[in-house]
Amino acid sequence: MHIMEGFLPVKHAVGWSLAVVPFVGYGMHTINQRIKEKPEQRMLLGVAAAFTFVLSALKMPSVTGSCSHPTGTGLGAILFGPAAMAPIGLVVLLFQALLLAHGGLTTLGANLFSMAVVGPFTAAAIYRLARGIRLPFGLAIFLAASLADLGTYLTTSLQLALAFPDPVGGFSASLAKFTALFAITQIPLAISEGFLTVLVMNALKRYNSQELREMDVLTSRELQA
């Protein structure tokens, strides 16, 4: 993530683009429904979008035809649900491709699937699981954000392995190679993103606690704490 312009074979680029269409469409529906019912949440939605844009713009080059960076999608997935991050991710990645030369238009679908579909759904699932077993709020946020970041890069590794299987070991060897290359930079980045997301959520908890309770992010017990 971001896989660079023209790097994927045409059939892979088209396939990933088609795969994200229903997620973007449903995500737009959920955002419109949420804003219609709770217009006061526009500001938090803007915070989530800005957080994703800024973090995912901080790229570190890699030798895989891609780059490493935080993703920032965990925050929005926790606040608004994973589906909302698909259209947000589309806007973010489109602007980055056009203005910052991060990623590209032909690889937009693949980048969107890894960062704005797999990442947010991973974050939401981990957060729900962590809250279900009553882990502390901060730890639940940290795990959700950091594992969403790693989930994005595992997906990118899979995308690259599918497109470029190893001549000898095939898909499995290629997947192992890409995953190992990403892990060098991505594990510390994921940990850093987890801590940063905790800081942002703690700030929101301090100043927007009632909204977070209405969004089922905070429990009544935590609201009173």
Please compute the mean of the pLDDT values over residues 162-186 and round it to a whole number. 88
Distance (Å, whole) CA 145 – CA 151: 10
Locate all alpha helices (DSSP H) within 96-225, ordered by sequence. Answer: 108-113, 119-132, 137-163, 170-207, 209-214, 220-224
- What pLDDT band is residue 1 in, cutting at 50, 70 and 90? low
Q: Indicate the pTM of the whole model.
A: 0.90
Q: Given the structure tokens 């898909």, which residue do they identify?
A: 171
Can you give the pLDDT at residue 224? 56
Looking from the CA of 57 toward its CB, the CA atoms found within 13 Å total 16
Q: How confident is the model at residue 217, as a pLDDT?
A: 82
Tokens of 7: 């790097």
Which of helix, strand or coil describes residue 208? coil
DSSP letter at 68 equals E
What local confidence, expressed as pLDDT, does residue 49 receive? 93
Give the span between the Cα atoms of 181 and 1, in whole angstroms: 13
Give the residue-averaged pLDDT of 47-65: 77
In this structure, what token pair is assigned to residue 78?
């926790």
Query: Which domains are present in the chain?
Result: 10-224 (1.10.1760.20)
Rounded mean pLDDT, 168-196: 88
Task: Name the pLDDT band for 3 (thresholds 50, 70, 90).
Answer: confident
Alpha helices in 41-136 (DSSP H): 42-56, 73-80, 85-95, 108-113, 119-132
Q: Is it the case that residue 185 has pLDDT exceeding 80? A: no
Q: What whole-number percentage of the chain has pLDDT above 90?
A: 60
Question: pLDDT tens digit string along 120-156?
Answer: 999 999 999 998 898 999 999 999 999 999 999 999 9
Q: Tens digit of pLDDT for each residue in 4-40?
A: 888 999 999 999 999 999 999 999 999 999 999 999 8
